[in-house]
Amino acid sequence: MSWTKVLAADQLPTGKREVVKVGDRHILLLNHEGQVYAVARRCPHMNIKMTRGKITEDGAIVCPMHRSSFDLKTGSVKEWTPFPPVVGKMMGMISQEKPLPVFPIKVEDGSIWVDA
């Protein structure tokens, strides 16, 4: 792992999202209430893009497909495949919970850096 400059800080104002490529990884950068986060672009459940995932009031990103939610800071699972009702819970029982990979970031010299 090493630090890579990925974006000018002013390209990611509050509420904005961008996908950047670091090595062979696609990373979703998002600015939520002034704090920048870097998470894997795809959900660890079935590899669906998280790019449009809703952000909850308690700081989790929600997968658009089966609505698993992951803490933005740690990537830990807050809820695993709750959707659709009944079927989602059954899917969750047969698939092991996996965290969403998250990456350290820093803002330095007007740029966003990711350690990936």
Interacting residues toward ligand FES by CB under 6 A: 43, 45-46, 48, 63, 65-66, 68, 81
CA torsion through residues 43, 39, 10, 1, sign: negative
Cβ closest to ligand FES, residue 32 vs residue 78: 78
Distance CA 102, CA 109 (A): 22
Q: How far is the CB of 2 from ligand FES (least distance, A)?
A: 29
In this complex, which beta carbon is closest to ligand FES, that of residue 9 or of residue 65? 65
- Least Å distance between CB 73 and ligand FES? 19
Q: Which is nearer to ligand FES, 93 or 107 (by Cβ)? A: 93
Q: How far is the CB of 11 from ligand FES (least distance, A)?
A: 27
**How far is residue 59's CA from residue 70's CA, in Å, rounded to a whole number?**
8
Alpha carbon dihedral 113, 71, 14, 49, in 10-degree steps, equals 80
First to last CA, the chain: 5
Between 7 and 65, CB nearer to ligand FES: 65
Query: Min. distance of Cβ 53 from ligand FES in angstroms?
Result: 9
As beta bridge partners, residue 25 has 22
